Structure 1
Amino acid sequence: MTTTVLDAVVRLLRDTGMTTVFGNPGSTELRMFRNWPDDFTYVLGLQESSAVAMAAGHALGTGRAAFVSLHSAGGVGHALGAVFNAHRDRVPLVIVAGQQARSLLQLRPFLGADEPDQFPRPYVKSARQPARAADVPAVLAEMHRIAMTPPRGPVFVSVPEDDWDQAAEPVEPRTVHSGYTADPDALAALAARLDTCARPALVIGPGVDDEAALPEAVALAERLRAAVWISPMSGRSGFPESHPYFQGFLPPVAGQLATRLEPYDVVVSLGAPVFTYHVADDSPPLAPGTELFHLDCDPAQAPWLPTGTSLVTTLRPALAQLTALVRRSDREPPPARRQPAPVTAGEDLTPELVLDQLHRRLPRDRVLVEETPSHRDALHARVPINLSGGFLTTGSGALGWGLPLAVGRALADRRRVVCVLGDGSALYSVQALWTAVRHRAPVTFIVLDNGGYAAVGALGRRIGITPVPGTDIGDIDFTGLAASFGCQADYADRPADLARALDRAVTSLGDDDGPHLLHLRVTGTEGVLYEPWTG
């Protein structure tokens, strides 16, 4: 019996653990679904960007690459915002897009993609349309290995729709051991500098969480008695925020960031872009006298850094070696992080009150997904994360990521996820509620509704633009919208109703219950971002 491309790909997907397929099907993908295997799960997203974000959440939860099926050129175009996020956040995805039949490509057919391997670049690690149908399984196997090799990320394959029925050879599984370590002499030099410095600090980037290196980062911080910060706009956590050495989150503004790091003579950045800025100013990246070392697995990060010394390395082996090389320090430990005062209930339902009460109810092992740009700083200050893999957001800024990301993350291990969203963010991908209901994803969605894109308005005011057009939304009935998708929902706009609503949405729901949305109309906010500055 002849083995087809489809037969070989199905076997490859089983071998690589990619039996949950996320997508939105169309005519150019139909042949891929012939005799769909009983042991595969198809997770339908009602829009392609939601399908990609759900796949990303699943990949982050399982630690394996996720498989995504997109519909031709239009589907790839719809999905590119989420592909951009996956690329910047180093999420391993194998993305396959349908293409018209090879015999039609010269005729510029309906739904055909011109230069399909160029379309998603530069936001994929690699992109191909195989030269022959028989090459499709081998190309997909290679792409899977590329996606999973540090720095991990999405890859893309365009498959003409008539390839699936053609003959092809099966692909044997391969193993790639991808951990690698910096030059021993470079690590020894860094250890020597850390032994002689007076005030060291670590900057924890998303790479620490991505490489499951949190224990190694904690061990190094404790051996050095170093202050610990989270890198600007990080899509992960990477360090227990209740640890006495934890200092907070660096702002994405050069002057403010340099001020935060000015007390330290040596700063070691671990798995972070150095540095991610959101607002331009004329400040240098670091104050004079602060020396920077940068450890990351991506060789593309090292050349463009404006200052410091880079060590290209994966983190777990490098941190283990570095911790063994440095002397245990007896220097004074860093001061304790200043905690915000608890908010007392008044007449208004404020984001700070919501977040304080959420913190009291959030179990330590609960994964928190965030996409509320106006209130991210308040969330970081009031809801500490101590769990490896316990915090997910977008580190790149394309909205619509959080809601479907939470759905995919919940489907990865069927443990309840709490997702805190802004109203503007939720509306980018609200159709993912349908998928959450269909698969009974255990997610609690908390929508902090401030009536618009308050973060954009705040940035506008700081550069003298007021009012900012197009930033008001308001009057969206999220409970009715959720109910239309079959999702249970509650609403509150008074402090007196908050405890009951959070108890129902967070405390009383278990992992076997389906999704629930809590719509909270919050006031007393103008979209505060970072801290006030002059520019």
Structure 2
Amino acid sequence: MTPALPAGTATTVRDAAFAVFAHWGVDRMFGNPGSTELPMLKGLPFPYVQGLNEAVVLGMADGYARASGRAALVNLHSAAGTGHALGNLFTAWKNNAPVVVTAGQQARSILPFDPFLFAERATEFPRPYVKWTAEPARAEDVPLALIRAFAIALTPPMGPVFVSIPVDDWDRPCTMPALPSLTTRTAADPAGLAQLAALLSGARNPALVLGTGLANAGGWNAAIACAEASGAAVWAAPYAAREVFPEDHPHFAGFLPAWRERLRDALQPHDAILVAGAPVFTWHVEGTGPFWPDGAALALLSDDPQHGAALPGGIGVLGDPASGLAELAKILPQPHGPVRSPRQIAAPEPAMSAAHVLSRIAALRPAEAVIVEEAPTARGPMHDHLPITHAGGFYTCASGGLGHGLPAAIGVALAQPDRVIAILGDGSAMYAIQGLYAARDEGTQVSFVILNNRAYAALTGFAGEFGLNHVPGCDLGGLDFVQLAQAQGVPARRVEQVGQLDEALCWSFAADGPTLLDLRIA
């Protein structure tokens, strides 16, 4: 435990930094050590989670930050390590994950000579996918830069920040700065909430469209209360990266597609639409026509100013979406909308298909299991057959990049005690397969479930949008995930017949520590 250092205490940059970390609740560091970071690690007061690759490191930290609700601390190795991490740094940016990234820099005395492992433009390299970057002009300014980094990372909309620190700064003398106590949530203006209440209460058939920002704000119960008070149908926003509403609730209507025409058709029955914690809207392909149905009133409630700036009409209210929906539930009159009934999805036929596998995971999973998903081909079947029913029960990647899900599942498992089920495509898993080492090393309770269709099937399936009959480079046959897992100390099984599926899932879910299932699906 790092002892508290009163403001004004003469100390070293290292000890002041450790006091800053303790103030913000840091209890571990995610990294893969390099020479320019070694002095930082001297006397480290908390565990070091080693990732073998910086992309894995960033993915673990992202999952840990989102599941714990605290900022995660990452240490990268100069420019090369930052480069390895950039894909998952971009994902952390899109996920609004509060990750504080420190990166080693060469010694100040040799910076003018273009030394080996020199980051020439260290603060520019991770832009624009960080909220703030700095390389302090003086060693004694490093603790202040770290304080600012944590404050910015945790202020909604949350996101990653980056501080480059020369290797010779850590032993330099400094004065301990004062540590702030910040409240970072901003309540919506009451006049704006009154407009939203009028919109919902005056509607014949209102809809709520809920996104990742609501989950990040802890708005699960507020969403339920608002839906029930308003009588609204609830839709998950396109590509929501967190759980937003219980998917077995009578008011849950389904998942909006990222196609303008299809989204407009789905919302056509509604005469009032309130989007909370998401942009209006996220698109994947080009579309034409209005952004929402003609004749429907539109409103937005979000703590992200960019969501308001991009609003294509309607009412925009800036503020915390969780407290905003909770307040709406209090001021709305009694529900008057149509009676809702739960979605009805037919059970899939028993076969080694994504739909059947996901339905069996839903049936056999531990009650409080958390799902981490990076299997783009199976996202539709997952929506149908693996309902998310509790707060904190789901995490996925908001960026569309691969290589996040496997390490993120490890980070989520480190942040909470329940079993984590990582549902991964075979192509996705290979982006960060060395993360299995950290899963074993940390003793995490993760079931890695590989939906192995021997291809980048999401890409081949999407090819028709561009008139392609064949996409090169998408055949992934020949990978043996059992051997890849066992080589890193993770017990693993291959399942090729549907009759073997339930026993294998029960084995994995009951195991003490990580396991991997290589499920050969059609």
Which of the five TM-score ranges fits, normalised by the shorter chain? over 0.9
| 1:446-465 aligned within 5 A | 446-465=449-468
8 Å contact from structure 2 (residues 250, 342) kept in 1: yes
The residue type equivalent to 2:258 in the other structure is P
Q: For 1:302, what is the secondary structure of its paired residue?
A: helix
Query: Which deviations, in whole Å up to 9, do the C-alpha atoms of 1:240-262 show, x marking residues without a partner?
Result: 11100101111111111111011
The residue type equivalent to 2:302 in the other structure is D
| 1:136-175 aligned within 5 A | 136-175=142-181
Q: Could you say which residue in structure 1 is the equivalent of 2:242?
A: 236
Moved more, 63-72 or 278-287: 278-287
The residue type equivalent to 1:394 in the other structure is C
| 1:100-249 aligned within 5 A | 100-249=106-255
Q: Could you say which residue in structure 2 is the equivalent of 1:344?
A: 349
Is 2:310 the partner of 1:304? yes
- Whole-angstrom CA distance in 2 between matches of 1:308 and 1:479: 52
- Whole-angstrom CA distance in 1 between matches of 2:520 and 2:313: 45
Q: Could you say which residue in structure 2 is the equivalent of 1:522?
A: 521
The residue type equivalent to 2:517 in the other structure is L
Q: Could you say which residue in structure 2 is the equivalent of 1:533?
A: none
8 Å contact from structure 2 (residues 248, 343) kept in 1: no
Q: For 1:247, what is the secondary structure of its paired residue?
A: strand
Q: Could you say which residue in structure 1 is the equivalent of 2:477?
A: 474
The residue type equivalent to 2:358 in the other structure is L
Per the TM alignment, residue 344 of structure 1 is displaced from its structure 2 partner at its CA by 2.8
Q: Could you say which residue in structure 1 is the equivalent of 2:49?
A: 43
8 Å contact from structure 1 (residues 4, 168) kept in 2: yes
Is 2:411 the partner of 1:403? no
TM-score w.r.t. structure 1 length?
0.94
- Whole-angstrom CA distance in 2 between matches of 1:94 and 1:462: 39
8 Å contact from structure 1 (residues 364, 387) kept in 2: no
Q: For 1:300, what is the secondary structure of its paired residue?
A: helix
Per the TM alignment, residue 307 of structure 1 is displaced from its structure 2 partner at its CA by 2.6
TM-score w.r.t. structure 2 length?
0.96
Moved more, 449-458 or 315-324: 315-324
Query: Which deviations, in whole Å up to 9, do the C-alpha atoms of 1:63-91 show, x marking residues without a partner?
Result: 10000000000111111111111111111
**Share of identical aligned residues, percent?**
43
Q: Could you say which residue in structure 2 is the equivalent of 1:488?
A: 491
Per the TM alignment, residue 112 of structure 1 is displaced from its structure 2 partner at its CA by 0.9
Q: Any unmatched runs of 5+ in structure 2?
A: 1-8
Per the TM alignment, residue 335 of structure 1 is displaced from its structure 2 partner at its CA by 4.5
The residue type equivalent to 1:514 in the other structure is G
Q: Could you say which residue in structure 1 is the equivalent of 2:5?
A: none
8 Å contact from structure 1 (residues 194, 266) kept in 2: yes
Query: Which deviations, in whole Å up to 9, do the C-alpha atoms of 1:386-443 show, x marking residues without a partner?
Result: 1111000001111000000000111112432111000000000000000011111110
Q: For 1:301, what is the secondary structure of its paired residue?
A: helix
- Whole-angstrom CA distance in 1 between matches of 2:320 and 2:506: 42
The residue type equivalent to 1:293 in the other structure is A
Q: For 1:476, what is the secondary structure of its paired residue?
A: coil
Q: For 1:307, what is the secondary structure of its paired residue?
A: coil
- Whole-angstrom CA distance in 1 between matches of 2:11 and 2:256: 54
Q: Could you say which residue in structure 2 is the equivalent of 1:7?
A: 15
8 Å contact from structure 1 (residues 20, 41) kept in 2: yes
Moved more, 310-319 or 168-177: 168-177
Q: Could you say which residue in structure 1 is the equivalent of 2:363?
A: 360
The residue type equivalent to 2:463 in the other structure is G
Q: For 1:294, what is the secondary structure of its paired residue?
A: strand
Q: For 1:234, what is the secondary structure of its paired residue?
A: coil
Count of aligned pairs between the two proteins: 514
Q: Could you say which residue in structure 2 is the equivalent of 1:93?
A: 99
Moved more, 169-178 or 212-221: 169-178
8 Å contact from structure 1 (residues 179, 317) kept in 2: no
Is 2:376 the partner of 1:373? yes
Per the TM alignment, residue 2 of structure 1 is displaced from its structure 2 partner at its CA by 5.3
Per the TM alignment, residue 291 of structure 1 is displaced from its structure 2 partner at its CA by 1.7
- Whole-angstrom CA distance in 1 between matches of 2:100 and 2:475: 37
Is 2:445 the partner of 1:437? no
The residue type equivalent to 1:68 in the other structure is V
8 Å contact from structure 2 (residues 156, 304) kept in 1: yes
Q: For 1:448, what is the secondary structure of its paired residue?
A: strand
Give the counterpart of 2:504 among 495, 501, 506: 501
Q: Could you say which residue in structure 2 is the equivalent of 1:34?
A: 42
8 Å contact from structure 2 (residues 210, 278) kept in 1: yes
Q: For 1:469, what is the secondary structure of its paired residue?
A: coil
8 Å contact from structure 1 (residues 238, 389) kept in 2: no
Q: Could you say which residue in structure 1 is the equivalent of 2:334?
A: 328
- Whole-angstrom CA distance in 2 between matches of 1:345 and 1:315: 41
Is 2:77 the partner of 1:81? no
Per the TM alignment, residue 334 of structure 1 is displaced from its structure 2 partner at its CA by 3.4
8 Å contact from structure 2 (residues 199, 297) kept in 1: no
Q: Any unmatched runs of 5+ in structure 1?
A: 524-535
Per the alignment, do residues 414 and 171 of structure 1 end up closer, same or farther by CA in structure 2, a change over 3 Å counting?
farther
Q: Pairwise CA RMSD of aligned residues?
A: 1.3
- Whole-angstrom CA distance in 2 between matches of 1:100 and 1:453: 40
Per the TM alignment, residue 114 of structure 1 is displaced from its structure 2 partner at its CA by 1.7
Q: Could you say which residue in structure 1 is the equivalent of 2:3?
A: none
- Whole-angstrom CA distance in 2 between matches of 1:313 and 1:102: 43
- Whole-angstrom CA distance in 1 between matches of 2:196 and 2:21: 42
- Whole-angstrom CA distance in 2 between matches of 1:283 and 1:71: 48
The residue type equivalent to 1:420 in the other structure is I
- Whole-angstrom CA distance in 2 between matches of 1:365 and 1:518: 20
- Whole-angstrom CA distance in 2 between matches of 1:179 and 1:36: 31
